[in-house]
Amino acid sequence: MDAYQEELDWDAMLIRLYVGRESLWLHRRFLSLIWMKHLAVDGQTNMFIKDELKLFQSCTIIPDNEYGEYQAQATFSATYITWLAKQMPESFGVVLKESSQFEALKLLLDQAEKRFLWDSLNASTQELEN
C-alpha cells in the first residue's frame, strides 16, 4: 500500500507542477479506481477523501493571467471530483455536499458549461438523503 500511496502523491505533485494537463487527471482516475476497488480499507477512506478535497481546492485557484491552463486545471479538477463523488456516493458524495467546496464545484462546472455534471451529482446526492 505504501507504494500505491507514493504513486498517488507523485501524481498530485505532477498535477500541481504541470498545470492543465488532462492526462494527469485521467491517470488519477485510474489510480483512484484501482484503490477503491482493490485496496481501500475503511480507516483509509476518510484520509483519501480529505486528501482529494485538498487537491481539488488547491487546483481551483485561478490567478489572473492570459493563459488558459489554470482554468483548464480547475475544470479538470471539478470533473474529477464529480466523478469521484459518483463512484463513492455514500462516503465521498456526502462529505463533498457538506464541505465548503460544494458551491465552488457548482460554480466551476457552470463556468465550464458542464452543468449536466452538476445536475447528475446533485441528483445522486439527493437520492442518498431520501
Mean pLDDT of the chain: 86
Query: What is the spatial distance between Cα 51 and Cα 120, in angstroms, rounded to a whole number?
Result: 23
Q: Structure pTM?
A: 0.85
% of the chain exceeding 90 in pLDDT? 39
Containing 109, the helix (H) or strand (E) segment is helix 101-111
- For 30-72, write each residue's pLDDT tens digit: 999 998 888 888 778 888 989 999 999 999 887 776 668 888 9
Rg (CA), the chain: 14
Cα dihedral 25, 83, 96, 24, rounded to 10, equals 0
pLDDT cut 70: percent of the chain above it: 92
1: its cell numbers = 500500500
Q: What is the DSSP letter of 61?
A: -
Output 11 or 1, whichever has higher pLDDT.
11
**Predicted local distance difference test score (pLDDT) of residue 15:** 97
Which pLDDT does position 1 carry in this prediction?
56
Q: Specify burial of residue 113 (Cβ count, 10 A radius: 0-12, 13-18, 19+).
A: exposed
The residue extents of the domains of the chain are 2-129
Instruction: Measure the CA–CA gap between 112 and 90, rounded to whole angstroms.
Output: 26
